[in-house]
A and B are shown apart, each in its own frame.
Chain A
Amino acid sequence: MGQDLLGFYPQWYVPNFGSGYVVAAIASTHVLFSHISVGASFLLAYLLYKAYKGNHEEIYAYVKRYFLVLLLTSYIVGSLTGPGIWFSTTVSNPRGISALIHNFVWAWAAEWVWFVTEVALVYIIYYIFDKIDRRTLMHISWVFAVVSWGTLLLIVGILSFMMSPGSEKWFHTGNIMDSFYNPNYFPQVAVRTSFTVALAALMGLAIATRMRESKLRQELVREVSLIGIGGLLLAGMSMIWYLETLPDRAKTTLDFAIPEAFKNTIFISIILVALVFAFFYALPKANRSLAFLALLMVVVLGLTIFPQERIREWLRKPYIAGDYLYVNQIVARDVPAKGVKSEIPFIDEHGFLKVHPFVPASAKTVTPGNMLEAGRAMAMISCAHCHSLDPAGPRPLVQKLEQVSTRPDVIYQFIERRLSGDPHQGAAPYMPQIAGTDEEIRALAAYLADITKQYVESKRATEQAAR
């Protein structure tokens, strides 16, 4: 390669929490509020059409209130958590976000056009709501709906590529279109679009609690509830299609590695929301508690969206993007069209610590004197993107290795087998292949044995103290 270094960035590590959870918290919040805004744009355009046709003043008042709520929620929290995902991935997985940015810069730029248009329109609609004739208002609301949806249509291409390009074609053409429109694209658009409608309906019910009781309010509650049920049904059906288009590796992970509790939580929370919609459809007068619906949204955030985002991340493993970049930042396969080469042979030959620019000089070369320091550096750059090096946080290594051994030689064999990249040797399909020299892997094993031993001893001491 004619060089000594590879392009790894300084690493950020959050003890006992993990940078991945920071990303997940921001991303899940963004999904909730951005999805509400997309679904709401169509719901409100439809309601403005209905208000215009029937000259319903009460619906106009409802729609205006809804727009204000959107301004105060989706267009603050949603707008900021969007770039927040970039920010958090920039510091938790810089090469991952860089891979996506460099492949999809123009798709993202196009999404930005819609985003700017959408935000400008929501302000314009709200602030000129009563200063403009209602036909024009209706026209603007339909444009708002389409451009709002446009942001979803564009981002889904990138999200589905993250899961997998879906074919070999992109690797050989490098064409953005071959990665954007991958087999997972349309199913994911269908799932997300349907879900946005359901979420907008949920928000719609919350806003309807602020209307005075009338026949029109009851009709509205029933209609919004029905729309919510429809959204959930369509999302459920699209989900079957979506799962069909996942790569085989992800299907295996979904079936065998992801805890049933995760999947059941999502399923039960969706059924719960569907039942709420059905209840308010049958008894629209009962829809009076804003607190209940706000709580329900928190439930959706915590029990539907958060686990779903975690599962989506899990299914991508061992890759972070495009079936070629490992979650620990190593390029794991060639992308001939882009001139990208797998970095694993280079790292195996020269050593991970050596080629990483931000590993300190004191840990670059493994010696008997710096075994633990070099091992910790190896753990930091090889494992810490997904695994906590502390007793708490995401998938702590000490909790895993406690069941294996506290002996360096046994842990070394475990790493060699489990991270061999070869399923026949017992490699997990969601784990990256270990990269580095033999000395580096032995140093890693020594460090892991050391922290596991400390963990086991401290646990034992705590248990004895408790007795």
Chain B
Amino acid sequence: MPVDTTELLNVLRSPSGIDFYPVVIQVLMVLTWAMHMFFINITIGSLLMTIVGYVQRDLKWRKLSQKTIKIAIISLSLGIVFGVAPLLFTQVIYDNLWYTANNLSAWLVILFVPIVILAYYAAYFFYFRNRDRSPSWLVLFPLLSLAGILYAAAAMHIFSYQELFPDKWVDWYTNGGTTMNTSGWHVYAFSVPRYLFFILLSLFVFGIYMKGYAWFFSKREDMDQSFVAWFGQVGQKLAAVAGALLVLDAILYNALQGTLGHPVIWGTVGFVAVVWALLMAWSRSSAGWVAPTLVGLAFFSDLAVGIMREAIRMIELAKFNHTIYDYPMHLNIFGPVLFFGTLGVGIAVFAFVLYVLYKGGRRAGVYEASKVETANTLWRFAWFTVVMWLVIFWGTGVIVLANLNNY
């Protein structure tokens, strides 16, 4: 007797349920995924431009590759750390989908770690060796790095895509009810338009980021301003081409998925199209607000894509009468208090360091932040909140344990 998909989706949920409103976890998942994707987009885009820049004969392009590889290694780090949160939240509300999709193709997720480590070291090696007159074969390293990151992207794509077919999981794994595919080497589903969509998104977002980079360093007297301006123009061209292809590919993928008619899909794809139109409309504007506004909109494009991705998942699951909103819940507020409290402290710390980074980054020479009242105030507040976090954290522990021993 075939397995009932609705029952399967329900029984694969954690028997202990969740401890807070699923919609809150869903919002956090989409939001943090957008942050993760923003940095991964920058990583992929910057690695590609590193390769393109390095193979040109013009020294200007070589210098571009020196800038973009530095962007790549930092954004890869940030992409990884921001990726932890959506990975966490998806395991809470989509545990049934995530664990199954991973176990169907187990080796893909295991190889993810060593391959990204190798990609990272290849990028770092290139970063240290990339000089104005370094040999052309060195380009193998950013190529290797990009290949590694694209592998990781493919693995994540496969999991996310296999998630959308719960009615096929058992047949896939058992070869139609005859065996158990325990090897973990199988790939059961792959969508080229969907995968390509994220690559194009990377080029679109990174092109805009290059414009933002040019804006940020436009006041630096110790930098070659003609190069900085050119850097931004390259970004404009990249984003213009990639953005147009991105919108077309989004329409193609949703048409193939059968989700094109849904209003959320129209809204999110439409938003990306509007951002692309604004990029084109403001292409010749020299106003100071244009580049930072576009960078903000690039992030919101990632957020729109995150919402689109989530909408597709919900549409597909609705076919099996499955929704995360009825996930059994045992409300417990201590956990959310711990998280949101820690988040508040983290924001206080970021307010201090980002202020110092912004002010210091936009000028030449040493920035004397400790002589600036605003920086000092932000530092004192950040330190106070961090110490208070420790006090409350330890204090709670002592109280809980004292009560535990009396239980």
- Answer yes or no: B382 CB below 8 A from chain A CBs: yes
- Answer yes or no: B243 CB below 8 A from chain A CBs: no
Contact B356 A101 (CB under 8 A): no
Stretch at the interface among A114-122, A211-219, A281-289, A391-399: A114-122
Contact B84 A82 (CB under 8 A): yes
Residues of chain A lying within 8 A (CB to CB) of residue B91: 86, 90, 97-98, 101, 105
- Answer yes or no: A99 CB below 8 A from chain B CBs: yes
Name the one of B13, B84, B117, B183 contacting A7, with C-beta atoms under 8 angstroms.
B13
The distance in angstroms between the C-alpha atoms of A87 and B114, with both chains bound, is 12
Stretch at the interface among B202-210, B231-239, B289-297, B367-375: B367-375
Contact B110 A22 (CB under 8 A): yes
The distance in angstroms between the C-alpha atoms of A377 and B80, with both chains bound, is 37
Residues of chain A lying within 8 A (CB to CB) of residue B184: 12-14, 91
Residues of chain A lying within 8 A (CB to CB) of residue B13: 7
Within 8 A of A (CB), among B89-144: 89, 91-92, 95-96, 98-100, 102-104, 106, 109-110, 112-113, 116-117, 120-121, 124
- Answer yes or no: A464 CB below 8 A from chain B CBs: no
- Answer yes or no: A463 CB below 8 A from chain B CBs: no
The distance in angstroms between the C-alpha atoms of A10 and B88, with both chains bound, is 20
The distance in angstroms between the C-alpha atoms of A102 and B393, with both chains bound, is 21
How many chain B residues sit at the interface, stated as a range, is 35 or more
Contact B370 A341 (CB under 8 A): no
The distance in angstroms between the C-alpha atoms of A83 and B169, with both chains bound, is 25
Query: In whole Å, how far is B7's beta carbon from the nearest beta carbon of chain A?
Result: 6
A contacts with B: majority SS = helix
- Answer yes or no: A248 CB below 8 A from chain B CBs: no
Taken residue by residue from 334 to 349, chain B's Cβ proximity to chain A (1 for < 8 Å, 0 otherwise) reads as 1110110111011001
| Closest partner residue, chain B, to A77 (CB atom) | B117
The distance in angstroms between the C-alpha atoms of A167 and B405, with both chains bound, is 8
The distance in angstroms between the C-alpha atoms of A109 and B31, with both chains bound, is 13
Taken residue by residue from 179 to 206, chain A's Cβ proximity to chain B (1 for < 8 Å, 0 otherwise) reads as 0111101100000000000000000000
The distance in angstroms between the C-alpha atoms of A104 and B18, with both chains bound, is 10
- Answer yes or no: A5 CB below 8 A from chain B CBs: yes
Contact B88 A108 (CB under 8 A): yes
Name the one of B102, B339, B352, B407 contacting A169, with C-beta atoms under 8 angstroms.
B407
Name the one of B12, B103, B174, B379 contacting A139, with C-beta atoms under 8 angstroms.
B379
| Closest partner residue, chain B, to A125 (CB atom) | B353
Q: A4-B7, A357-B3 are in contact. Are A183 and B81 (CB under 8 A)?
A: no
Contact B346 A12 (CB under 8 A): no
Name the one of A105, A124, A167, A185 contacting B357, with C-beta atoms under 8 angstroms.
A124
Contact B332 A176 (CB under 8 A): yes
Within 8 A of B (CB), among A325-360: 331, 335, 337-341, 357-360
- Answer yes or no: B277 CB below 8 A from chain A CBs: no
Name the one of A80, A86, A130, A136 contacting B375, with C-beta atoms under 8 angstroms.
A136
Residues of chain A lying within 8 A (CB to CB) of residue B262: none
- Answer yes or no: A57 CB below 8 A from chain B CBs: no
The distance in angstroms between the C-alpha atoms of A135 and B83, with both chains bound, is 33
- Answer yes or no: B397 CB below 8 A from chain A CBs: yes
Residues of chain B lying within 8 A (CB to CB) of residue A359: 174, 180
12 contacts between A and B (CB under 8 A): A13-B183, A76-B120, A79-B77, A82-B84, A90-B91, A90-B109, A98-B99, A127-B74, A133-B370, A143-B383, A174-B19, A175-B334
Question: Besides the contacts A80-B113, A177-B334, what 10 more A-B pairs have beta carbons closer than 8 Å?
Answer: A76-B124, A104-B335, A113-B342, A113-B343, A114-B346, A147-B386, A150-B342, A176-B332, A183-B401, A339-B16
A binding-site residues for B, Cβ under 8 Å: 3-7, 9-14, 19, 22, 26, 72, 75-77, 79-84, 86-88, 90-91, 94-95, 97-99, 101-110, 112-117, 119-121, 123-124, 127-128, 130-133, 135-136, 139-140, 142-143, 146-147, 150, 153, 166-169, 174-178, 180-183, 185-186, 331, 335, 337-341, 357-362, 377, 380
**Which 5 A/B pairs are nearest by Cβ-Cβ distance?**
A106-B335, A361-B177, A84-B113, A12-B106, A91-B106
